[in-house]
Structure 1
Amino acid sequence: MFWRNRIGKYSVCFIVLFIIIYSLFALMIFSIQKNQIIDEMKQELLMMTDEVIGSSVSDPDQLEYSAIARIEQLAHDQAVVMRSSFNRFLIFSSLLFCLLIGLFGVFISKRLSIPLAQMRKSTRKIIAGQYDIKLPMASTDEIGQLAMSFNRMSRQLANQMTTLLQEKEILFSIIGSMKDGVMTMNLDGEIIISNQEAEMFIDHFHYEKGSSNTNQLPTDFEQFFQSVINQATTQNFEIKIQGRDWDIVITPLHRNEKLQGAVAIMRDVTEARQLDQLRETFIANVSHELRTPISLMQGYSEAIIDGVTETVADQRELAQVIHDESERMGRLVNELLDLTRLKSGHLDLNVELHSVADFVNKIAHKFDNRLAKNKLSLKINIPDDVDQLLFDYDRLEQVLTNLIDNAIKHTLEKGELILQISREDDDVQFELTDSGQGIPTEDLPFIFERFYMADKSRAKTERSKQGTGLGLAIVKQIIEAHKGSIIVQSKLGVGTTFKFTLPLN
């Protein structure tokens, strides 16, 4: 509306003010001139009256003519004076009008420039990212409406930026929490968004290819990217970087049916392929381990059926072999079941408080005959600060039995076994050291793998010492089920040390 227009209101106020001032000046000048003319006319009439009274002129017409002439001259003189005064009034009023226009312009410019300057400063703050801006609304005219619109805009921008930041944080949290590498690129191949796994992949890629410019995509990856951009279709690539297998899926990004770039997902499939290979090896090992005793049992049972054995002693010997091989098969199956339950976490532990000294001495007593037969010694050191511990008695007995049995197998006569138990902060450490032949360095990383046997030659020469290759894998799973950890240290010709820790609580 007109009355909400600031320029209109200022114009009306100025016009009214100018009319009032101009009218006042005109009335003032008119009043002054009127009074002056009246006074002069009175004086002139008095002078004329005095002259008529004192005059000796006998002709009244001549006297009247003379009076009229003087009055006309007086009127002419007063008209000249009035014109001169009016001209001065016009000049003065014009100067005053110009002054008022100047003051009015300064006033309007200040009234307009101050809120505009505030808006300019507020706009710069918004550009800098400060959205909590609120301009004062001192009026309801255009400036006030502009301030109100500006405040509404800043609030909406703040809400939109908050929403965008939240969505961005959620997006980065999702991408950052992904185990696969995720990377978004524009049409120029510039990386826009990437998580830590993708950055590591690119770094390894540059290192593998010997690239010096790490700000650009590697050459091979750039070729993959350009192939996807040119064909505008999702493509899958496989590459080997730093000894690890990577599966790369690059998908084009479209917006309003226009190609904007591409997103790449890099997945490390090394473990998956190793698991596939391990699964195949596992099946082959199980088949091999079962085939040998089955073949022996089948052969010896056929010998008994065919009457190859003539004496009872020979039959008993063959039956004993069949019995031993069946026990071996049963032990293999039980160990496989135990390992499966431990791996799946379905094995329930019966954790109770037990005396460490009684537990260890009882297990060591089981090996007295074997130690004496192999001329070995077993020393046990238990400090006073290790008294009782929470653990599953049967499962931990299985662990120590397996470790001591392996140590006896791989230690020559007159060797020594030492079982040292100590307190390590909030853990209890069991350390079993033997003076055996040791484990080759290349076999140490795989010692806890299923069906892995470091000394395969000795296992073939002495059947009584053959194992299934599952014992140490089960040991590791039992220790980890107790929230503990186990490591192995070994040197050829010096000996081997197994260390495992169990938490006090």
Structure 2
Amino acid sequence: MRGISFFQTIQAKLIIIYVLLILIAMQLIGVYFIRTLETYFKTDFIASRTGQAQLLAQYAETYLAESQDNKNGEPKKSYTDLNDIVNKLFAISKAEIQIIDANGVVLTSSLSTNQSVVGSKNTQTEVVKALQGIKDNQRMFTDLDGVRKIIIARPIGSGVKVYGAVYIIASMEDVYDTMKQISQIFISGTLIALVLTALLGVILSGTITRPIQEITRQATKVAEGRFDEQVRVLGKDEIGQLGSTFNFMTERLKEALSLNEEEKEKLASILSNMNDGLIAADEHGRVIVINRRAKQILQVNEEASRGMYLTALLGVTPDLLRPAEGGGDKTAMLRLFQEDEEGPLYVRATFTAIHGKTQGGAGTIVMLQDVTGMEKLEQSRREFVANVSHELRTPLTTIKSYLEALEDGAMEEPQLAGKFVGVARNETDRMIRLVTDLLQLSRLDSKQAIISKESTIVEDMLEEAADRFSFQLEQRSIEVEIEVDPQVEDLMLDRDRIDQVLDNLVSNAIKYTPDGGHIRIHAGCRDKALEISVQDNGIGIPKKDLERIFERFYRVDKARSRSMGGTGLGLSIAREIVKAHGGSIQLESELGVGTKVTFTLPYQQEVSAG
């Protein structure tokens, strides 16, 4: 027997497995640990800087309030005092602090090298938002020197009036340097662990491979016909049991030939009772054996089928059996119609020739497999791929045509070029919405979407949903009526996802309701569940389309829906979200009268945190 190299031995494979297991475990732990620390350090850093900005805003409010309120006289406190407070009490390492008045003019800067900005306007987006009274303004970025920084802007003013803003731009390099040091320590520990694991693997694998090598030598002797020697059994572990089993196998090897006929009978019994259908025919094509599953698929009894020609039983032509008689397998797809089934039954039939001891065929074996479920799944997959391909091809074709037009000279005309770029941007946004909807459906289908429920006031939720479309409603003179029954109570639900359902239903109602129309949003209780309906007096949906309205990519008016930016997935997503809450959704519509979509959400008893 030829020798094998060390890297092809089980010992080497065991060592590699040990090392890989430790490496993977350390990497997983390290990624989780480092990510957690990074999140903690970033959160702590941002919270600290935000707190300093808030405290500084409170100090600066008195200066700016007196400066802006005393229009006729001098302020009691000068900006010089404010500059001293900023530089002495609120100085932050590797950070610049600016105090900005209500007009966006920089009053003071803590960075001595950047005093030239005092008196000029700060037009940063965060500052503009802060001067508008928006409190949460922060942004992380990397400057031209590769330094990662964060911008925080807070409005100055405890009341309605905003006197100015506090603007902080701080370096986050200390946080990332700390994370880098922790990563280096972890890598060093990982390397030490791998070395120790490799040494331990060499020792442990040797205790396993040596007995296996002895069994291999004995197996070679048995293959050569020497049955007088046995493997030494040194223990009762798995290797010892393998040695004992090998010895027992050697003793029973001669007896195996006498059990050949018995094994054949067992095999025949298995073939007769297996889950796939099995039909055996003789050389004339007459059925001689048919198992239970085949009778169920073909809906025949054994007495009637025994002796029938195989072609008559399966409804196939004799030509289908000829390739099997020639020695090769032949597969055909049969469509069977049964009385208790709505659609056809798809059965894959595999024909295999049986060869006797003499030349020529001795019969045919037919294996029947019910692939109805697979066929339906494949059909759904083909439809889904076709729909996705069509939805992506249309905007891509549009983008390509406009880009080619720009390339051919339209770019030289600013007005026309702007129009083409706008169309390309709209088509790109449409593709992004499509992919986002597909990802959300995928998460909902695979039960990976997280449903975070919270107590929600139903009336507030409905009013906010209507407010989000106030501009479109006012523009098209559509009246919205919100009705909430008195018995409706607060409900535990995922507010963001239910808002998405409401937005989709209200948006559809607006799209397909003529100008001056009416939309009614109603909430009530039925069977211990909250029932919410969105009804419009729009164009309605034909009856033939109602059964498929919740299918993915299905549109009643494909051209109009696509022109309005729809992806055909809105109602599908709404249904999956409602189902994830344990509810149901249904649609009623009459062409020319209007549409009513109703979904229910079960009430759940809130568990006390006690």
Provide TM-score, normalisation by structure 2. 0.43
What secondary structure does 1:480 align onto? helix
Residue pairs, 1:450-489, within 5 angstroms = 450-459=552-561, 463=563, 465-489=564-588
C-alpha separation in 1, matches of 2:392 and 2:575 = 24
For 2:79, the equivalent position in structure 1 comes to none
> What corresponds to 2:346 in structure 1?
246
Q: Distance in 2 between matches of 1:292 and 1:440?
A: 31
Structure 2 Cα separation of the partners of residues 279 and 458 of structure 1: 21
Query: In structure 2, what is the Cα distance between the partners aligned to 1:296 and 1:476?
Result: 36
What is the TM-score of this pair, normalised by structure 1? 0.51
Give yes or no for contact 1:239–1:247 (8 Å, CA) kept in 2.
yes
Structure 1 residues 78-98: Cα deviation after superposition (integer angstroms, max 9, x where no partner): xxxxxxxxxxxxxxxxxxxxx
Look up the SS of the partner of 2:348 in the other structure. strand
Alpha-carbon distance between aligned partners in 2 of 1:437 and 1:221, rounded to the nearest angstrom:
51
Deviation at 1:358, TM superposition (A): 1.3
Return the match for 1:385 from 464, 479, 487.
487
- The answer on 1:502 being equivalent to 2:607 is no
Of 308, 314, 318 in structure 2, the residue corresponding to residue 221 of structure 1 is: 314
Does the 8 Å CA contact 2:336/2:347 hold for their aligned counterparts?
no
Change (3 A) 1:419 1:266: same
What is the rounded CA distance, in whole Å, between the counterparts of 2:522 and 2:291 in structure 1?
56
The residue number in structure 2 matching 1:22 is none
Separation in 2, partners of 1:249, 1:395? 47
Question: Which position in structure 2 is the counterpart of 1:295?
Answer: 400
| Equivalent residues of 1:240, 1:246 under 8 A apart | yes
Q: Which residue of 1 aligns with 2:515?
A: 413
* Distance verdict in 2 for CA 1:466–1:306, change over 3 Å: closer
- Contact residue 293 and residue 326 of structure 1 kept, 8 A: no
Q: In the alignment, what sits opposite 1:194?
A: 293
Identify if the C-alpha distance between structure 1 residues 442 and 241 changes in structure 2 by more than 3 Å, giving closer, same or farther: farther
- 1:275 alignment partner, one of 366, 380, 402: 380
- Is 1:411–1:436's contact at 8 Å kept on the other side of the alignment? yes
The equivalent residue for 1:355 is 457
Q: What is the CA–CA distance in structure 2 between the aligned matches of 1:437 and 1:214, rounded to whole Å? A: 58
AA partner of residue 584 (structure 2): S
For residue 498 of structure 1, report the CA deviation from its aligned partner. 1.9
Report the CA distance shift for 1:316/1:449 in structure 2 as closer, same or farther (over 3 A).
Answer: same
Compared CA separation, residues 483 and 498, structure 1 to 2 (3 A): same
From 225, 234, 237, the counterpart of 2:332: 237
| Larger Rg belongs to | 1
Q: Deviations over 1:306-326 (max 9, x none)?
A: 32126xxx6665554454444
Aligned mates of 2:315, 2:419 — CA distance in 1: 71
Distance 1:328 1:343 in 2: 22
1:397, CA displacement in angstroms? Answer: 0.9
Deviations 1:216-243 (A, max 9, x none): 9994516589959x95986532123455
2:370 partner letter: M
Q: CA deviation at 1:419?
A: 2.3
Residue in structure 2 matched with residue 266 of structure 1 by the alignment: 370
Distance 1:234 1:315 in 2: 62
Please give the residue correspondences for 1:149-188 in structure 2 after superposition, counting only pairs within 5 Å.
Answer: 175=275, 182-183=276-277, 188=287
Deviations along 1:193-238, whole A, 9 cap, x unmatched? 239xx74x545x99xxxxxx9999994516589959x959865321
Q: After superposition, give the CA deviation of every residue in 1:384-429 in whole Å (9 maximum; x if it has no partner).
A: 3321222211111111101110111111233222223232324322
- List alignment gaps of at least 5 residues for structure 1: 1-163, 176-181, 207-212
Structure 2 residue runs without a partner (length 5+)? 1-265, 282-286, 338-342, 605-610
Q: Secondary structure at the match of 1:194?
A: helix
Secondary structure at 1:335 match in 2: helix
- Inter-CA distance 392–303: structure 2 relative to 1 (3 Å threshold): farther
Number of residue pairs matched by the alignment: 314
- CA distance in 2 between partners of 1:329 and 1:223 (Å): 48
Q: Counterpart amino acid of 1:264?
A: L
CA distance, structure 2, for counterparts of residue 397 and residue 467 of structure 1: 18
SS at match of 1:345: coil
Question: 1:306 aligns to what SS in structure 2?
Answer: helix
User: Once the two structures are superposed, what CA deviation does each residue of 1:86-130 show, in whole Å capped at 9, x if it has no partner?
Assistant: xxxxxxxxxxxxxxxxxxxxxxxxxxxxxxxxxxxxxxxxxxxxx
The amino acid across from 1:361 in the alignment is E
Q: Which residue of 2 aligns with 1:308?
A: 413
RMSD value, Cα:
4.3
- Quote how far apart the aligned CAs of 1:459 are: 4.0
Pair 300,368 (structure 1): closer, same or farther in 2 beyond 3 Å: farther
Give distance in 1, aligned partners of 2:514 and 2:526.
31
The question of whether the paired residues in 2 share the 8 Å contact of 1:356 and 1:387 is answered with yes
Match of 1:52 in 2: none
Deviation by residue 1:127-182 (Cα, 9 ceiling, x = unmatched): xxxxxxxxxxxxxxxxxxxxxxxxxxxxxxxxxxxxx9xx99xx99x95xxxxxx4
Partner of 2:477: 375
- The C-alpha deviation readout for 1:288-332, integer Å capped at 9, x for no partner, is 24315523662675589732126xxx6665554454444333323
CA distance in structure 2 between the aligned counterparts of 1:368 and 1:219, rounded to whole angstroms: 69
Query: Which secondary structure does the structure 2 equivalent of 1:430 belong to?
Result: strand
* Aligned-partner residue type, residue 314 of structure 2: F
Greater relative contact order (Cα < 8 A, sep 6+): 1
Hey, which of these two has a bigger chunk of helix by percent? 1
Q: Which residue of 1 aligns with 2:253?
A: none
- Relative to structure 1, the CA distance from residue 315 to residue 298 in structure 2 (aligned partners, 3 Å threshold; closer, same or farther) is closer
Q: 1:349 to 1:303 in 2, by over 3 A?
A: farther
Partner Cα separation in structure 2 for residue 500 and residue 358 of structure 1: 18
Alpha-carbon deviations, 1:23-46, whole Å to 9, x = none?
A: xxxxxxxxxxxxxxxxxxxxxxxx
Contact 1:250 1:262 in 2 (8 A): yes
